[in-house]
Structure 1
Amino acid sequence: MIKTVPQHPPMTQFPVKGNNLTVGGIELTRLAARVGKTPFYAYDRQLITDRITELRRQMPDELKIHYAMKANPMPAVVQHMAALVDGFDLASAGEMKVALDTPMSAENISMAGPGKRPQELMQAVAAGVTINIESFHELETIASVSGQSGIQAQVAVRINPAFELKASGMKMGGGPKQFGIDEELLPEALTRINELNLDFKGFHIYSGSQNLKAEAIIEAQQKSIDLAIKLSDYHPAPIKKLNIGGGYGIPYFPGETPLDTRQVGDALAKAMAKFKAVNPQAEVIIELGRYLVGEAGIYVCQVLDKKISRGQIFLMVNGGLHHHLAASGNFGQVIRKNYPVAIGNKMNKPEKETVNIVGPLCTPLDILADKMDLPAAEIGDLVVIYQSGAYGYTASPHQFLSQPEAEQVLV
């Protein structure tokens, strides 16, 4: 008997019509015909809108919500986001180009990253976006670029705090880090910003990501705000923006439960009131990517072959780790776990079988599902990977083994 791995609770964000999953009200088989090929990513614009609308209800009224474009920089998604959020946060000049093609004002766009190239810094200065300074060398380079161009650079300081975001999927603060300037060096950095006549906007404190524990996020947000208040004696100018990062996660694996954002919002309202008493003109910003788009996207591929090997069923599909590295378990997982998976055109079929779903690549790492109970599938059926709206398409090695690339659609 084949032992199956723990199963996921039902994914309910995409309705089912007949046997078909629907995206944006379109049945999956029809959407696949419209796209014209598999594999593809599909993002549901209404789910994105609903997520942001609900989040605003749960967060303090004065809080600004920025979209971290690295989660999903598809131009159509970013255009849709421009009408829903208060700003964009970028990780490259390439993302900046996409952002500036939208109606979003440059004054509500910021750029972070530990190794910005001089040319990128020149582009950011010229565009008027806020640059999050991550080192003393970068600070001097920005000042040089600003002087050469005659354009005053808009800057904030990314802080590597002494604390970390506990229980986060990726820790980006606390201890030695490539991100930001160490907390204890902030007075020196702020003095230098003043000497160089840069337009100081405030602070960026990003401690970690993919966190499902409200208590951990609340603690990190409170510590971030306390740190910004503590630094008030050293500001070269009043704080205009305090970006306290994100970290809001989504459930991917069996046993995980959604983040209680209401609890986070209630605690943040109290912390913001304390900050606003000292800095009444400053904006407090959270920077979210995965939380806004992750659950609104699916990855769809097609069964090419079905075989039995020593008692186990294998479905060979035309997609895999080259399109969806995260779902294969090769994007940060220590022990591989299954994303939620479905047979998208057999949603209500009662017959189940335990299957392994593997891609076409010549590597045993190309796994999309390991020993999962799913409706009995045949060649031509459509395999769906849920929770695929963030860190899917652009976080994957599309050129690996020269396979065809996936498509992307917003519906």
Structure 2
Amino acid sequence: MKPLEHAAAFGTIDGELSVGGLPLSRLAARVGSTPFFAYDRGLLDARVERLRSVLPARVELSYAMKANPMPAVVQQLASRVDRIDVASGLELRTALDTGIRPESVSFAGPGKAPAELRQAVAAGIIVEVESPTEIERVIAAGDELGLTPVVALRVNPDFAVKGSGMRMGGGPQQFGIDAEQVPGLLAEYASAGLDVRGFHVFAGSQNLDAAIIAEAQRRTVDLVSGLAEHLAAPVRYLNLGGGFGIPYTERDRPLDLEAVASALHELVDGPLSERLPEATPVIELGRYLVGECGVYVTRVLDRKVSRGRTYLVVDGGMHHQLAASGNFGQAIRRNYPLVVGNRVEASEDDAVTVVGCLCTPLDLLGDDVVLPDADIDDLIVIFQQGAYGLTASPTAFLGHPAPAEVLV
């Protein structure tokens, strides 16, 4: 997708990008300083509504808070989704502060600290255990508190998903319990006083191929159907993961959500209903819910020419938006969509390189991009910034102030 296509999703007012119905210059004045992240409340709601309109009614929608834990965003989504998934004690507290029912919160991730597990058991949420050690710690917490821990087993599947941005299942993994170990563990802890609700299988993230996602969901149901035979009670909770991707570069094509939904309808109405009739299927999404609803706004501090190349030096950079810079040079870097936000509709005829204010050549936000003629005080906007932005970046690097975040 091209930058102007992303701009069209937000809208423009008098030639400026608008977020939440506010023209960018007015929004910047309201925030008081740049850089900042802005999230569009209307786009968040629209994304949830679109998912609701195509996914099977039986499927519950869970928000993976790790994508964007800003409290206002979590509060906005808490009343619109069915569940929230957390990955730390702080995220758990943020989720419970929304007023969502504890039984609608799940806690996944390797290396949960004993204190976090005790907190989770006390709250009555679903703990998605990822190792025998976590099972032992959950049992100990339940004994100490006089409570029956509610758990699901996160399973490392015996298959891998191709085409994912990050593979999180198949082969050796720090995530989950290897599928072949699950029957033995269920037998070992059958009388340990656990309320085992079901399973969580997440094989990969940031996938733009509908057929691959559908295959992963089908294979997940096949896998869990076999594991369910080793449970004393019927499977009541089946987290199918998510992995729905969003387009970050011009060569990326948006995920065909209707194709994913069509395959999921067939799966839910067929094999899942036949084999696991009491299971509530859950789709857990983070990036797909919030990623396209946010922008990162930074101001041009300097325009300079070095041996024929024009640089726009901005007041933000990789310390706020690590992914757009190429993750400390560890990935093949491609430009994220960006525009001159206060002059979106001006003609594009100026090839420039947009860099941040840090003392490293890795602080690169746009390499040889064609923009309207931009100068000092113009606002550069990077799209697809609603997920894995601020909290996934090295904000302490070089000691610059943290950017603001606003939900409008």
Check whether TM > 0.5.
yes
The 5 A counterparts of 1:20-169 are 20-169=16-165
| CA distance, structure 1, for counterparts of residue 71 and residue 344 of structure 2 | 31
Secondary structure of the residue aligned to 1:394 is helix
2:175 corresponds to? 179
**Shift of residue 346, structure 1, vs aligned partner:** 0.9
2:345 corresponds to? 348
| CA distance, structure 1, for counterparts of residue 138 and residue 61 of structure 2 | 26
2:247 corresponds to? 251
**Shift of residue 229, structure 1, vs aligned partner:** 0.9
**Shift of residue 193, structure 1, vs aligned partner:** 3.2
Deviates more, 1:133-142 or 1:348-357: 348-357
CA RMSD in angstroms comes to 1.3
Secondary structure of the residue aligned to 1:195 is coil
| CA distance, structure 1, for counterparts of residue 176 and residue 302 of structure 2 | 49
- Map Cα deviations across residues 267-290 of structure 1 (whole Å, 9 max, x no partner): 111111221223222100000000
CA contact (8 A) 1:193 1:200 kept: no
CA contact (8 A) 1:211 1:247 kept: yes
| CA distance, structure 2, for counterparts of residue 265 and residue 245 of structure 1 | 14
- TM-score, with structure 2 as normaliser: 0.97
| CA distance, structure 1, for counterparts of residue 228 and residue 360 of structure 2 | 54
Secondary structure of the residue aligned to 1:345 is helix
| CA distance, structure 1, for counterparts of residue 246 and residue 329 of structure 2 | 15
Letter aligned with residue 314 of structure 1: Y
Runs of 4+ in 1 over 4 A off after TM superposition: 6-9
Secondary structure of the residue aligned to 1:41 is strand
1:316 corresponds to? 313
1:3 corresponds to? none
Secondary structure of the residue aligned to 1:76 is helix
- Map Cα deviations across residues 326-384 of structure 1 (whole Å, 9 max, x no partner): 11111796211110001000111125200001111000010110000011111001000
Whether 1:396 aligns to 2:400 is no
1:266 corresponds to? 262
1:337 corresponds to? 334
CA contact (8 A) 1:191 1:234 kept: yes
Alignment counterpart, residue 190 of structure 1, candidates 186, 196, 203: 186
Secondary structure of the residue aligned to 2:371 is strand
**Shift of residue 137, structure 1, vs aligned partner:** 1.1
CA contact (8 A) 2:3 2:339 kept: no
| CA distance, structure 2, for counterparts of residue 331 and residue 313 of structure 1 | 23
Letter aligned with residue 215 of structure 1: A
- Map Cα deviations across residues 78-129 of structure 1 (whole Å, 9 max, x no partner): 0000111000001111100100001211101000011000000000000111
CA contact (8 A) 1:357 1:370 kept: yes
- Map Cα deviations across residues 219-266 of structure 1 (whole Å, 9 max, x no partner): 000000111111121013211100010000000012111101111111
1:281 corresponds to? 278
* Structure 1 spans left out of the alignment, 5+ residues: 1-5
| CA distance, structure 2, for counterparts of residue 78 and residue 147 of structure 1 | 32
Deviates more, 1:329-338 or 1:42-51: 329-338
Percentage of identical aligned residues: 51
Letter aligned with residue 325 of structure 1: L
2:296 corresponds to? 299
| CA distance, structure 2, for counterparts of residue 211 and residue 225 of structure 1 | 19
How many residues get paired? Answer: 406
- Map Cα deviations across residues 133-173 of structure 1 (whole Å, 9 max, x no partner): 10011111111111111111110000000111210000000
| CA distance, structure 2, for counterparts of residue 270 and residue 340 of structure 1 | 35
Alignment counterpart, residue 222 of structure 2, candidates 219, 222, 226: 226
Deviates more, 1:344-353 or 1:128-137: 344-353
**Shift of residue 130, structure 1, vs aligned partner:** 0.4
Secondary structure of the residue aligned to 1:376 is coil
Secondary structure of the residue aligned to 1:126 is helix
| CA distance, structure 1, for counterparts of residue 19 and residue 196 of structure 2 | 44
2:5 corresponds to? 10
Letter aligned with residue 245 of structure 1: G
Relative to structure 1, the CA distance from residue 214 to residue 351 in structure 2 (aligned partners, 3 Å threshold; closer, same or farther) is: closer
| CA distance, structure 1, for counterparts of residue 370 and residue 162 of structure 2 | 33
**Shift of residue 191, structure 1, vs aligned partner:** 1.5
**Shift of residue 192, structure 1, vs aligned partner:** 2.7
